[in-house]
Structure 1
Amino acid sequence: MRIVFAGTPTAAVPTLRTLAASHDIAAVITRPDAPLGRKRVLTPSPVAQAAEELGLPILKAALLDDEATGRIAALRPELGVIVAYGGLVREPLLSTPDRGWINLHFSLLPQWRGAAPVQRALIAGDDVLGASVFQLVPALDAGDVFAARTVDVPMDATADVALDVLAEDGARLTADVVAGIADGTAVAQPQGGEATTAAKLVFEDGALDWNEPVAAVYARFRGVTPEPGAHTTVGGLRVKILAAAPADGADALEPGEIAATKNALLIGTATTPLAVSRVQPAGKPAMNAVDWWRGFRSSDTMRAGS
Structure 2
Amino acid sequence: MRVVFMGTPEFAVPSLRALASAHDVVLVVTRPDAVRARGKRLEPSPVKIAAEELGLEVLETSRMTPEVQDKLSAAAADVFCVAAYGCILPDTMLSMAPLGCVNVHASLLPRWRGAAPIQRAILAGDSETGVSIMRIGKGVDTGPYCAQASCSIEDKTTTELTDELAHLGADLLVKTLPALADGTLEWVEQDEAYVTHAAKVEKSEMHLDPSVTAEQNLRIVRAATDAAPARLSVGNRKLRACTACALPEEASVSVDAGFARFVSGHVYVGCADRPLELLRVKPDGKREMDASAWAAGFRELKQGVLWARD
What TM-score comes out, normalization by structure 1 length?
A: 0.95
Which one-letter code corresponds to 1:131 in the other structure? Answer: V
Q: How far is 1:75 from its partner?
A: 1.0
- Aligned partner of 1:262 in structure 2 is 264
CA contact 2:105–2:133 (8 Å) conserved in 1: yes
Instruction: Select the residue among 255, 260, 280 that pairs with 1:278.
Output: 280
Q: How far is 1:227 from its partner?
A: 4.3
CA contact 2:267–2:291 (8 Å) conserved in 1: yes
Quick one: distance in 1 between partners of 2:189 and 2:234? 49
Q: What runs of 5+ residues in structure 1 fail to find an aligned partner?
A: none
Quick one: distance in 2 between partners of 1:297 and 1:208? 23
CA contact 2:281–2:288 (8 Å) conserved in 1: yes
CA contact 1:250–1:273 (8 Å) conserved in 2: no
- Aligned partner of 1:58 in structure 2 is 58
Quick one: distance in 2 between partners of 1:296 and 1:259? 10
The C-alpha deviation readout for 1:235-275, integer Å capped at 9, x for no partner, is 33421011101122243422221111334211111111111
| 1:242 paired to 2:242 | yes
- Aligned partner of 2:305 in structure 1 is 302
Please report the RMSD computed on the Cα atoms of aligned residues, expressed in angstroms: 1.6
- Aligned partner of 1:176 in structure 2 is 175
Alignment of 1:1-306 (within 5 A): 1-153=1-153, 155-192=154-191, 193-248=193-248, 249-298=251-300, 300-305=303-308
The C-alpha deviation readout for 1:100-145, integer Å capped at 9, x for no partner, is 1011111000100001001000000000111101100011101011
For the residue of structure 2 that corresponds to 1:17, the secondary structure is: helix
Q: How far is 1:225 from its partner?
A: 4.1
For the residue of structure 2 that corresponds to 1:238, the secondary structure is: strand
Which one-letter code corresponds to 1:194 in the other structure? Answer: Y
CA contact 1:31–1:60 (8 Å) conserved in 2: yes
Quick one: distance in 2 between partners of 1:290 and 1:3? 51
Quick one: distance in 2 between partners of 1:12 and 1:116? 14
Quick one: distance in 1 between partners of 2:219 and 2:83? 25
Q: What runs of 5+ residues in structure 2 fail to find an aligned partner?
A: none
Q: How far is 1:88 from its partner?
A: 0.8
Percent identical: 35
CA contact 1:158–1:225 (8 Å) conserved in 2: no
More displaced, 229-238 or 7-16?
229-238
For the residue of structure 2 that corresponds to 1:137, the secondary structure is: coil
Residues 194, 140 of structure 1: alpha-carbon distance in 2 compared, 3 angstrom cutoff:
same
Quick one: distance in 2 between partners of 1:2 and 1:14? 18
For the residue of structure 2 that corresponds to 1:82, the secondary structure is: strand
More displaced, 227-236 or 203-212?
227-236
The C-alpha deviation readout for 1:196-239, integer Å capped at 9, x for no partner, is 01011121122111211111111121112454111111233421
Q: Which runs of 4+ in 1 moved over 6 A?
A: none
